A and B are shown apart, each in its own frame.
Chain A
Amino acid sequence: MPVKGAEYAYAVGRIRVLETRLLDEGRLDRMVESSSVDEAFKILGETEYAHMMAEVESVYDFEEILQAELERIHLLMQEINPQAHLTDLISLKYDFHNLKVLLKGKYLKETGGAMDDLLLPMGTIPLEDLQALIFDEEFQEDDYELPEEVCRAVEEIAEEFEASGDPQLIDLSLDRTLYEMLVGRAKELKSTVLEELFVREVDLTNIKTFLRVKRMGRDRRFLRRTMLPHGRLPVDLFSDLLDEPLEALAESLEKSQYADLADVLVREWQEKGNVTGFEKLADNMLIDHLRQVKYTTLGLEPLLGYLYAKETEIKNIRIILVGKVNGLPMDEIKERLRNVYV
């Protein structure tokens, strides 16, 4: 086709309309400032969430609404994206979530439906296939269409877990595999937007993990196991910094694109002992990256932007509603709200 990205024309058209229905800052603010959960809920009812809200009985089931909405968006993406394997990469994290649940369930010898509630339907791999991979003794890789990396990771975990019995290993190992797959696939598919997005995610997660591991007082070997691969910041950097004071982190990130964030991180950590602000800024940085490419006329970018915007929006609504239900002060809620995409 002579026009680059022409196959996205329909999808982009739809997304542009959907974007107008995203919750803007004003509405979120109104929700934060509402006097009760019910009122916040009512404000939510004026938006595109309204049709989901008819099905729940009480305000306290908001989690169901958010879940249903997230599911709907992922289905929509699969439906309208001509190259669904790209947006599938974003949904891959749900497959890995399901894998974690299934693996832990297996090792806890959980039977019946105890863990079924924790499985998410937004993944790209059918749940039955995942269940077969984990529970079927005579599992044959060729019978299912599972990514090779996933099968390998599950095998490795089975071996390691039998030796050590450490449940954290399941999460750590799967997280690594996930990001290896994400960055690898984005490169293969030559999608620079996605690659940049995932690389940033890796770096930001690594910075945060570094701090958390440091606080837990664990050693370098453990740190190396928690670090995600393919980041722009080398793992050695973190490993060398582990025994240094925290300021060293800010100094060594001075020249990178994460300089401002590292600054905030260090300051916040020393003043308040938490990383709430950093977590927010990290999410904002990803959204900002997508915002930069938002005006690409045709292509994957608007779709990605919308998907992320929606995930962020759902996160924001959750923060507000959890806060409201539990009577959190307004500024504590505001402190945690992520930037909006519109």
Chain B
Amino acid sequence: MTGVLLAFVGAALAVITTGIGSAVAVGMVGECAAGVVTEDPDKFGQTLLLQALPGTQGIYGLLTGFLIMQKVGIIGGNLVELSLYQGLYILAAALPITVVGYLSTIAQSKATAAGVAMIAKRPEELGKAIVYAVMVETYAVLALLASILLLFGITL
């Protein structure tokens, strides 16, 4: 059963770290946005859009978690027996999104907060602010991709 335990740890880590990262980031951007809206309530829509951006990594983490759960058969209801190595494979496959997901969120939160500050001055440049923030997203997506490919590559 150690294999299953390791797979669980992998799924949990993917969900936990990216979740924490996203929560922190969305919270911080939210604070910044609240500051802007205090002085200029019309900016609510635009800042909300930006606030949502660093939230995606949490979803990626959850997605990875789900895939692992499906792999080990929790969702289907019949747990697959895993050897130690198979468990380790799954844990390793979860690592890219676990680490990159977290760090990219933190990085993205900064870019997004800067974007919010930019919106405060130039509301017409919302698109550009989003592009800057989304550039960081790329690496989270790449990590997610790696994680998924790795997961699919494991044969049970």
Contact = CB atoms under 8 A, between A and B. Distances in A.
Do A and B share a direct contact in the complex (Cβ within 8 angstroms)? yes
Interface stretch (A13-21, A107-115, A200-208): A13-21
B35 A10 contact: yes
A3 B21 CA distance: 10
A39 to B, nearest CB: 29
Contacts of B110: 3, 297-298
A19 B117 CA distance: 10
Nearest to A6: B28
B100 interface: no
Nearest to A13: B35
- Name the residue among A17, A18, A298 with the largest chain B CB count within 10 angstroms: A17
A251 B32 CA distance: 48
A13 B121 contact: no
Interface stretch (B36-44, B55-63, B135-143): B36-44
Interface of A is mostly: helix
A14 B106 contact: no
Contacts of A297: 110, 113-114, 117
Given A9-B113, A12-B113, A298-B113, A3 B24 contact: yes
A10 B34 contact: yes
Nearest to B122: A20
Given A3-B110, A11-B35, A297-B110, A16 B121 contact: yes
A80 B39 CA distance: 12
A14 B31 contact: no
A216 interface: no
A9 B35 contact: yes
A26 interface: no
B144 interface: no
Contact of B117 (A2, A6, A16): A16
B116 interface: yes
A10 B109 contact: no
A160 to B, nearest CB: 47
Contact of B121 (A1, A11, A20, A80): A20
A12 B39 CA distance: 12
A18 B35 CA distance: 10
Interface string B96-112: 00000000001001100
B72 interface: no
A13 B34 contact: yes
A13 B36 contact: yes
B106 A12 contact: no
Nearest to A1: B24
Contacts of A2: 21, 24, 106
B81 to A, nearest CB: 38
Given A297-B113, A298-B113, A13 B106 contact: no
A184 to B, nearest CB: 31
A14 B35 contact: yes
B24 A17 contact: no
B120 interface: yes
A131 B103 CA distance: 53
Contact of A9 (B31, B38, B39, B40): B31
Given A3-B28, A3-B106, A297-B114, A19 B121 contact: yes
Interface in A1-39: 1-3, 6, 9-20
B15 interface: no
A255 B25 CA distance: 45
A3 B29 CA distance: 11
B35 A15 contact: yes
A184 B61 CA distance: 47
A55 B134 CA distance: 48
Nearest to B120: A16
Given A6-B31, A9-B32, 12 more contacts: A3-B24, A3-B110, A9-B29, A12-B117, A13-B33, A13-B34, A16-B116, A17-B38, A80-B35, A297-B117, A298-B110, A302-B117
30 contacts: A2-B21, A2-B24, A2-B106, A3-B28, A3-B109, A6-B31, A6-B109, A9-B28, A9-B113, A11-B35, A12-B113, A13-B32, A13-B34, A13-B36, A13-B38, A13-B113, A13-B117, A13-B120, A14-B39, A15-B35, A16-B35, A16-B116, A16-B118, A16-B120, A17-B39, A80-B35, A297-B110, A297-B113, A297-B117, A298-B113
Interface of A: 1-3, 6, 9-20, 80, 297-298, 302
